[in-house]
Amino acid sequence: MLSNTKMLNFAIIGCGVIAPYHSRALEKVESAQLVAVCDVDIEKAKKFADQFKVDPSRVYTDYHELLAQKDIDAVCVCVPSGLHGQISIDALKADKHVICEKPMEITKEKLDEVCEAYKDSGKKFACVFQRRTQPIPAKVKAALDSGVFGKPLMASAYLKYNRTAEYYKSAGWRATWEMDGGGSLMNQGVHGVDLISWFMGGIDKIYAIYHSYTTGERIYFK
């Protein structure tokens, strides 16, 4: 590590299936270290801390207590989707940088609150959209930016995902309106939406059409 590089102390909130990816990523960054973990399930948190060599005294069940620790510089938010927003807001207000798993939140109102908290905080905030780092999307983005395709006028994504019943049974919050917030589009399709936005240089406005094949109901959103 370079002598003039500040070591950043990270904490992980939520010790579920995605948390190990964050821990292993931190292990590869010379200027970052995992110093604390938090989960409402204390046994899960303790096991996770032991696996990644976190001091047992830095294991928490209340994320507010973790955020009160002055030596923690940044947090990774790895909890169910419907909890992303409030924890991110509280972390920003506690003067922490935030890396939040996708989606940022599941309601527009809470998304707006996250954005306001970020603007007021002066801290860094990032949402995890790992598809941008994969080789093919990265090459497409580079080609678009180079102008080799000319000026793109339209982009579309056709996303065919499959998730087994076991996937949805793996955690009680999956496929619930309260915590998952919108089924396959919110959970898996958000990656395609992000790539389209990234490729095309951002989004100015959106609209959506909802169509139920069982009831015939069709709704337009703007």
Residue pLDDT, tens place only, 86-127: 999 999 999 999 999 999 999 989 999 999 999 999 999 999
In sequence order, the 6+-apart residues with CB closer than 8 A to the CB of 131 are 137, 191, 194, 195
**For residue 121, what is the enclosing H or E element?**
helix 108-121
Q: Is it the case that residue 67 has pLDDT exceeding 80?
A: yes
The per-residue pLDDT for range 17-52, each reduced to its tens digit, is: 999 999 999 999 999 999 999 999 999 999 999 999
Residues 116-154 pLDDT 10s: 999 999 999 999 999 999 999 999 999 999 999 999 998
The whole-number average pLDDT for the span 5-14 is 94
User: How confident is residue 2, by pLDDT bands cut at 50, 70 and 90?
Assistant: very low
Q: How far apart are CA 97 and CA 86, in angstroms?
A: 14
Read off the tokens for 201: 């240089």
How would you label 60-81 residue by residue, b for 16+ Cβ within 10 Å and e otherwise?
beebeebbeeeebbbbbbbbbb
First-to-last alpha carbon distance for the chain, in angstroms, is: 49
Domains of the chain: 8-127 (3.40.50.720), 132-221 (3.30.360.10)
DSSP string, 126-184: EE--GGGGSHHHHHHHHHHHHTTT---------------HHHHHTSTTTT-TTTT-SHH
Global pTM? Answer: 0.88
Q: Would you state the pLDDT for residue 1?
A: 40
Output the average pLDDT for the chain: 92
Residues in CB range of 56: below 8 A, 6 or more apart: 46, 49, 50
Confidence of residue 3 (pLDDT cuts 50, 70, 90): very low
Residue 103: cis peptide before it, omega within 30 degrees of 0: yes
Q: What is the CA radius of gyration of the chain?
A: 19
From CA 36, how far away is CA 47, in angstroms rounded? Answer: 13
